[in-house]
């Protein structure tokens, strides 16, 4: 028996199971269920979740968030940056590889709240105000979403010309030495790609609280990771290290409904390269609530574009990509996975070895379960590109970012002014004005002028620093220690 013959029954089982779920909801756009946890397994916290009588998920705990995440709020000329401890979000994120589920599962007072992706076009969300079951379980809505249909242009001439122009420029990359082929991807077993995601003006309106936006993007990124589960040499996963809520910035001229793909991609590059996205990251991704289109010679060329990216740009100054997503629908997961593969160096599948018709991730053809997998050509192209990256590209630099490095400075030996002065962006000659917030929350705002606008970064006060008259901060508490 060949290896392929051994795999085939499993492949058929997955396809059948997905079809079985869909058939349960055929003809109905939504249904109502009372999910409950049947079993909590092992120290890893894995769960068996019964959604209804026809669907039970075997959930594994996911790792998709950096322990400390940079959250940026862009509002007019003000950039506010804060460090978010993600433990309370990370512990509730799960996945089921069989169904390609990516879910947020919260257990509260014996009850369970489930939100996220059940499979490609089924979603679930709790209804707190809804009628409870006889056992007090919270009712949830399961609903279908339409996947983003993309009319991919093969090839993308405007984008290729744009890339050729940029390739002629001398780019130092987002990390020093990232363009020097000192090492090879074949020597790296794992590559956790550090990702900073921006939620644009339209997209971010769907989330009242910052934690809600972080959790949503974590579930979305977790769904992307499921598409890369089978990658090897290196094994690729995406780690969400930063989130930006864009309240006021326009990346390109827009009528509030549509946006030009190439113009907004250039605008995203400019936004990133002027220093508006702090911290360390390999790729910047923009989740947009607008409809993306391509235009050529003044005429709309394609209005069915769901996303766009610079091909082969990870770990460089061109490492930007964008894609459509509808808040709370998670329908941008496939587009996000596709565009990030472009960023990692993969073109579309359109060779005799990996034809478009096979329907893997880098095609828009419905290939069934193959839609959730990278073809061997995609993996090969990614390895080839990563072989040109330096060792620094593969390190998790977000663990050493400037917020974490400095948040534990001994407050008895440093003033607020000096603390902020030491965190001045490298090479900047701008004057820093430090403002210590005299409240019980033990935060310190470091404000400075950059590019003619005011920018403030929120830090945790170092232990021992004065927070109010006669009081100091210790472990986040302002008191008479």
* Binding annotation: 338, 342, 348
Largest separation between any pair of C-alpha atoms in the chain? 78
What are residue 375's phi and psi, to 5 degrees? -70, 165
For the annotated binding site for Zn(2+), the residues are: 338, 342, 348
Question: For every residue of 97-166, which 3-state class applies, written as one string?
Answer: CCCCEEEEEEEECCEEEEEEECCCCEEEEECCCCCCCCCCCCCEEEEECCCCCCCCCCCCHHHHHHHHHH
What are residue 211's phi and psi, to 5 degrees? -60, -35
CB 113 within 8 A of CB 138: yes
Cα–chain-centroid distance for residue 190?
Answer: 18
CB 409 within 8 A of CB 416: no
Task: State the Cα–Cα distance between residues 400 and 9, nearest whole angstrom.
Answer: 45
Known catalytic residue at 109: no
Choose among 237, 387, 264: nearest CA to 324.
Answer: 264
Strand 466-468 and strand 471-474: pairing? Answer: antiparallel
CB 68 within 8 A of CB 83: yes
Q: 177 Cβ partners below 8 Å, 6+ apart?
A: 390, 392
How far apart, in Å, do the first and last CA atoms of the chain sit? 72
Choose among 299, 309, 306, 317: nearest CA to 265.
Answer: 309
Judging by beta carbons within 10 Å of its beta carbon (0-12, 13-18, 19+), is residue 277 exposed, middle or buried?
buried
Residue where the block lists tokens 């991704």: 285
Task: State the Cα–Cα distance between residues 27 and 369, nearest whole angstrom.
Answer: 22
Choose among 223, 167, 174, 90: nearest CA to 395.
Answer: 174
List 115, 194, 324, 339, catalytic entry:
339
Give me the sheet containing 55-61, strands edge to edge. Answer: 30-33, 140-144, 122-126, 111-117, 101-108, 93-96, 55-61, 46-52, 36-41
Task: State the Cα–Cα distance between residues 166 and 162, nearest whole angstrom.
Answer: 6
Q: Which residues are catalytic?
A: 339
């Amino acid at each position: 028996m060949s290896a392929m013959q051994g795999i085939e029954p499993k492949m058929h089982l997955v396809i059948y199971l997905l079809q079985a779920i869909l058939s349960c909801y055929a003809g109905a756009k939504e249904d109502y269920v009372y999910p409950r946890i049947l079993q909590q397994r092992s120290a890893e916290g894995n769960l068996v979740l019964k959604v209804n009588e026809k669907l039970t998920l075997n959930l594994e705990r996911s790792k998709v968030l950096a322990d400390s995440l940079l959250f940026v709020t862009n509002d007019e000329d003000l950039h506010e940056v804060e460090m978010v401890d993600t433990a309370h979000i990370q512990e509730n994120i799960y996945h089921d590889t069989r169904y390609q589920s990516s879910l947020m599962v919260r257990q509260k007072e014996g009850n369970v709240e489930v939100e996220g992706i059940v499979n490609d076009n089924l979603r679930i969300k709790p209804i707190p105000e809804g009628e409870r079951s006889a056992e007090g379980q919270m009712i949830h809505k399961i609903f279908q979403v339409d996947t983003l249909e993309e009319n991919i242009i093969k090839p993308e001439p405007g984008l290729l010309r744009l890339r050729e122009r940029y390739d002629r420029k001398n780019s130092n990359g987002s990390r020093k030495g990232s363009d020097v082929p000192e090492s090879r991807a074949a020597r790296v077993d794992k590559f956790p790609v550090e990702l900073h995601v921006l939620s644009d003006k339209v997209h971010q309106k769907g989330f009242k609280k910052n934690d809600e936006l972080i959790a949503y993007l974590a579930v979305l990124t977790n769904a992307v990771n499921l598409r890369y589960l089978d990658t090897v040499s290196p094994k690729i996963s995406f780690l969400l290290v930063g989130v930006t809520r864009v309240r006021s910035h326009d990346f390109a001229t827009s009528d509030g409904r549509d946006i030009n793909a190439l113009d907004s991609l250039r605008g995203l590059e400019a936004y990133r390269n002027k220093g508006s996205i702090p911290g360390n990251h390999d790729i910047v991704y923009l989740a947009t609530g607008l409809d993306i289109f391509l235009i050529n010679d003044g005429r709309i060329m394609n209005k069915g574009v769901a996303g766009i990216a610079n091909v082969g740009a990870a770990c460089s100054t061109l490492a930007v990509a964008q894609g459509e997503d509808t808040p709370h629908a998670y329908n941008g997961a496939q587009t996000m996975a596709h565009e990030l593969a472009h960023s990692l160096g993969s073109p579309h599948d359109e060779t005799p070895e990996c034809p478009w018709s096979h329907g893997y991730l880098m095609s828009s053809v419905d290939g069934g379960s193959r839609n959730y997998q990278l073809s061997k050509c995609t993996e090969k192209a990614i390895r080839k590109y990563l072989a040109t990256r330096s060792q620094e590209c593969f390190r998790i630099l977000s663990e050493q970012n400037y917020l974490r490095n400095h948040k534990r400075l001994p407050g008895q030996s440093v003033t607020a002014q000096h603390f902020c002065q030491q965190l001045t962006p490298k090479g900047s000659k701008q004057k820093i004005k430090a403002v210590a917030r005299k409240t019980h929350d033990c935060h310190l705002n470091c404000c400075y002028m950059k590019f003619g606008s005011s920018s403030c970064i929120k830090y945790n006060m170092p232990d021992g620093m004065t927070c109010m008259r006669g009081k100091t901060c210790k472990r986040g508490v302002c008191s008479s220690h």
